[in-house]
Amino acid sequence: MVVRMLAKKGTIIKVLKEVFEWSKVVFCALAISLLIKNTVAASAVVPTGSMEETVMTGSRIVINRLAYLCSTPQRGDIVSFYYPDDGETLYLKRIIGLPGETIKGVDGKVYINGNEIEDYTSNVFRDDFGPYTIPNDCYFMMGDNRSNSWDSRYWDNKYVSESEIIGKAEIEYYPEIKVLR
């Protein structure tokens, strides 16, 4: 009887050791994935059609959180950022205006410092806007679906501070795999 109890106790100890070893693996995997998600890359689902033509509603994308570690955001970059009017809602738009530039929109065309820029979309907007002079360390954002995008043209706080940019949208991985430009 004592031998059976000792044998049973030995089996229980082996099972507990095995559970403990697997728990360490699972815990380490969770810690690494949280570290990557919060410092290197984020995954996002596009909730609206404001970037359609480029990124469709329901698409899943990867945001590179390290994209601006050694460089600054550039015109044409698609970025994820906190909506400046509430500081909480995540948005995805294209950078159109850079710090220090004057931007305006007339007859469906965008002008920077008086010069028409090459647009990133064939979607034309109806309402003229500006001129606005973009403050230092801030950016003017527009969606590619210009006629259906709630962007810098309409916000109370027209500009996104560089500190509010989460990262650059790099890859769409669902429903298709493509590099975002």
Instruction: Give the residue numbers annotated as catalytic, written as ranges.
Output: 50, 93
**CA of 102: how far to CAs of 63, 74, 144, in Å?**
28, 16, 20
User: 19 vs 9, 14, 70, 162, CA distance in Å?
Assistant: 15, 9, 43, 46
Q: How many C-beta neighbours within 10 Å does residue 28 have?
A: 10
How many angstroms separate the CA atoms of 43 and 62, rounded? 5
CA quadruple 35, 41, 46, 51: dihedral positive or negative?
A: positive
